[in-house]
């Protein structure tokens, strides 16, 4: 068996996958703004992974996160809409594509103009999530088209802005640390 | 903020060790079984395919000595949501719906197609819940991760990163308690400085901005931890090629027959689900 995936890609996929699992399970990944409706930021680690390490890592994080939400929806659903996520077409496939889409808009910049490329990756990644998840629900006839379009326009657009802000903040912070040559910091805390 | 102690009640699925013959199967067979039961449910346009998978899941749970109530523990909290979905499906009219009208009250018309759709959605969800809960109750964490590598081994020959994916999944499991601990530390630190995450202020953007002091450090710390692990692995010259394994899974006698019949069941279920209406 020959494999050429660098260790860094594997480890970063694992670590960011764990972040999205934790945000999901602790419910800290949800920001509720109107009773019963919440914004989600759990797909942001997927976007960050895609931006830092490419589509393979983004896709892997999306897969890990998607499967977690699938299992959670099946064994312990606790929010409106959770039921839909038992279907992998709703919970897994869109999340894998979030990473791929975010990378696809970020890659052409080749790391230049981070003030534009990072928010753009956040917006596109986030909208991919909303549109594909709700699109899958419409395709499965779980939700009529007008209702789905309404959710994309209300929640989806705000989520996209939030994702853009968080992606930019994390990636610039991380790139700043990396470029100063002090990448592993926890080890120096003794 | 309800509770700061997050990671004490973090669990995904739940393994139930009854030492049954089903538990003793290799991860490949378990994944195959998961696919064979889930695909017909997803592909079915009518109830027979869903019912077949559901019945098979119940039969396997009997053999695995997993109580049926344990499999369906997700269903009870989901009932209000299933009802809500059904109401949505009935209230909104579907374009091109020419089926018989069963009931009409003012602007709301209940048609046969709407009722059928609502029933199918619920049935599909309940059956999938049972199948996934069954898989997680007979498969350990380690089997879940290694199973990915074994299951995709044929694809690895043409370049699919099976080993890398399995390792990333296994690492995620290991990272979860660490990240949860980090998160707890950061939430405590911010709370002691008077921070509260999105609890104050109105407007979604403002709430999201209040959220950044939590989200950014958690992700950056996770990346730092990853970097340390990368350094440790690279300094030991880790490579995915030709690795041996601490845990190996041996096929029980006659397991090949189990695999064949499981695959046959999957194909039959999908056929029934697509063909019969």
Residue B69 to residue B121: CA distance in whole angstroms? 21
Residue B72 to residue B269: CA distance in whole angstroms? 21
Closest CA of chain A from B240, distance in Å: 6
Q: CB–CB of B231 and A184 under 8 A?
A: yes
Confidence label for A51 from pLDDT (cuts 50, 70 and 90):
very high
Residues of B in contact with A123 (CB under 8 A): none
Among all residues of chain B, which has the CA nearest to that of A175?
B220
Q: Determine if residue B105 is left, alpha or beta; phi over 0 gives left, psi from -120 to 50 gives alpha, anything else beta.
A: beta
On whether any CB of chain A is under 8 Å from the CB of B129, the answer is yes
Q: CB–CB of B167 and A184 under 8 A?
A: no
Q: CB–CB of A22 and B197 under 8 A?
A: no
Confidence label for B219 from pLDDT (cuts 50, 70 and 90):
very high
Confidence label for A26 from pLDDT (cuts 50, 70 and 90):
confident
Q: In Å, how far are A8, A73, B86, B92, B120 from A141, measured between CA atoms?
A: 41, 19, 11, 11, 10
Question: Which of B139, B197, B204, B238 best tests the A interface by mutation, with the highest count of A CBs <10 A?
Answer: B204
The mean pLDDT value for B259-268 works out to 89
Q: CB–CB of A173 and B42 under 8 A?
A: no
- So what's the ipTM on this one? 0.83
CATH architecture for the domain at A7-179:
Orthogonal Bundle (1.10)
Residues of B in contact with A77 (CB under 8 A): 74, 77-78, 81
> Among residues A165, A166, A157, A151, which one has the least CA distance to residue A36?
A151
pLDDT digits (tens, 9 = 90+) for A97-142: 999 999 999 988 877 777 788 889 999 999 998 888 888 888 876 6
Confidence label for A190 from pLDDT (cuts 50, 70 and 90):
very low
Closest CA of chain B from A159, distance in Å: 9
Give the B window 157-216 contacts with A, CB below 8 Å.
157, 161-165, 167-176, 178-180, 183, 197-198, 202-205, 207-209, 211-212, 214-216
CA atoms within 13 A on the CB side of B195: 16
On whether any CB of chain A is under 8 Å from the CB of B113, the answer is no
Q: CB–CB of A64 and B172 under 8 A?
A: yes
Residue B143 to residue B36: CA distance in whole angstroms? 18
Residue contacts between A and B (CB atoms, under 8 Å): 253
Among all residues of chain A, which has the CA nearest to that of B160?
A3
Closest CA of chain A from B55, distance in Å: 17
E strand or H helix at B111, and its extent? strand B108-111
Q: What confidence score (pLDDT) does residue A187 get?
A: 45
Confidence label for A189 from pLDDT (cuts 50, 70 and 90):
very low
**The pLDDT of residue A8 is above 70:** yes
Token pair of A122, please? 């956040």
Among all residues of chain A, which has the CA nearest to that of B5?
A26
Q: CB–CB of A185 and B224 under 8 A?
A: yes
Residue A10 to residue B167: CA distance in whole angstroms? 7
Q: CB–CB of A26 and B121 under 8 A?
A: no
Q: CB–CB of B77 and A77 under 8 A?
A: yes
Among all residues of chain B, which has the CA nearest to that of A141?
B117
E strand or H helix at B276, and its extent? none
Q: CB–CB of B88 and A143 under 8 A?
A: yes
For A165, which of B42, B133, B208 is closest by C-beta distance?
Answer: B208
Among all residues of chain B, which has the CA nearest to that of A185?
B224
Residue A16 to residue A42: CA distance in whole angstroms? 10
Closest CA of chain A from B182, distance in Å: 10
pLDDT digits (tens, 9 = 90+) for B161-200: 888 888 898 888 888 888 888 888 888 888 888 766 545 5
CA atoms within 13 A on the CB side of A118: 21
The mean pLDDT value for A36-65 works out to 86
Q: What confidence score (pLDDT) does residue A29 get?
A: 67
Closest CA of chain B from A54, distance in Å: 14
Contact A156, A127 (CB under 8 A): yes
Q: What confidence score (pLDDT) does residue A188 get?
A: 44
Q: Where in chain A are the domains?
A: 7-179
Confidence label for B1 from pLDDT (cuts 50, 70 and 90):
very low
On whether any CB of chain A is under 8 Å from the CB of B70, the answer is no
């Amino acid at each position: 068996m020959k494999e050429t995936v660098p260790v860094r890609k594997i480890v970063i996929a694992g670590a960011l996958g764990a972040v999205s699992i934790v945000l999901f399970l602790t419910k800290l990944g949800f920001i509720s703004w109107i009773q019963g409706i919440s914004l989600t930021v759990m797909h942001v680690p997927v976007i960050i992974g895609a931006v830092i390490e490419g589509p393979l890592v983004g896709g892997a994080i999306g897969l890990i996160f998607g499967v977690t939400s699938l299992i959670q929806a099946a064994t312990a659903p606790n929010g409106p809409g959770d039921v839909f996520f038992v279907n992998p077409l709703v919970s897994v496939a869109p999340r894998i594509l979030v990473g791929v889409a975010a990378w696809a808009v970020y890659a052409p910049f080749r790391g230049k103009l981070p003030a534009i490329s990072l928010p753009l990756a956040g917006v596109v990644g986030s909208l991919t999530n909303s549109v594909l998840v709700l699109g899958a629900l419409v395709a499965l006839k779980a939700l009529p088209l007008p209702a789905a379009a309404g959710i994309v326009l209300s929640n989806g657009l705000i989520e996209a802005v939030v994702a853009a802000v968080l992606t930019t903040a994390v990636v610039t912070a991380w790139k700043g640390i990396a470029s100063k040559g002090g990448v592993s910091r926890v080890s120096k805390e003794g | 903020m309800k509770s700061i102690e997050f990671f004490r009640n973090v669990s995904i699925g739940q393994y139930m060790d009854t030492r049954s013959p089903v538990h003793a199967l290799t991860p490949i067979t378990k994944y195959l079984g998961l696919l064979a039961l889930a695909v017909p449910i997803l592909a079915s346009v009518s109830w027979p395919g869903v019912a077949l998978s559901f019945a098979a899941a119940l039969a396997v749970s009997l053999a695995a000595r997993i109580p049926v109530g344990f499999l369906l523990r997700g269903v009870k909290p989901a009932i209000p949501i299933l009802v809500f979905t059904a109401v949505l499906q009935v209230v909104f009219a579907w374009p091109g719906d020419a089926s018989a009208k069963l009931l009409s009250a003012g602007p709301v018309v209940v048609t046969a197609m709407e009722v059928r759709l609502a029933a199918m959605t619920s049935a599909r969800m309940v059956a999938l819940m049972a199948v996934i809960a069954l898989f997680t109750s007979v498969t350990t964490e380690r089997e879940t991760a290694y199973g990915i590598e074994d299951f995709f081994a044929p694809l690895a020959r043409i370049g699919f990163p099976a080993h890398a994916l399995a390792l990333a999944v296994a690492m995620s499991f290991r990272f979860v308690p660490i990240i949860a601990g980090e998160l707890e530390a950061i939430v405590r630190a911010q709370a002691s400085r008077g921070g509260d995450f999105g609890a104050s202020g109105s407007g979604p953007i403002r709430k999201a901005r209040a959220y950044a002091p939590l989200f950014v450090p958690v992700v950056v710390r996770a990346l730092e931890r990853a970097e340390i692990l990368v350094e440790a692995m690279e300094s030991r010259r880790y490579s995915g090629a030709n690795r041996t394994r601490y845990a190996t899974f041996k096929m029980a006698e006659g397991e090949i027959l189990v695999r064949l019949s499981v695959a046959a069941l999957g194909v039959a279920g999908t056929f029934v689900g697509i063909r019969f209406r």
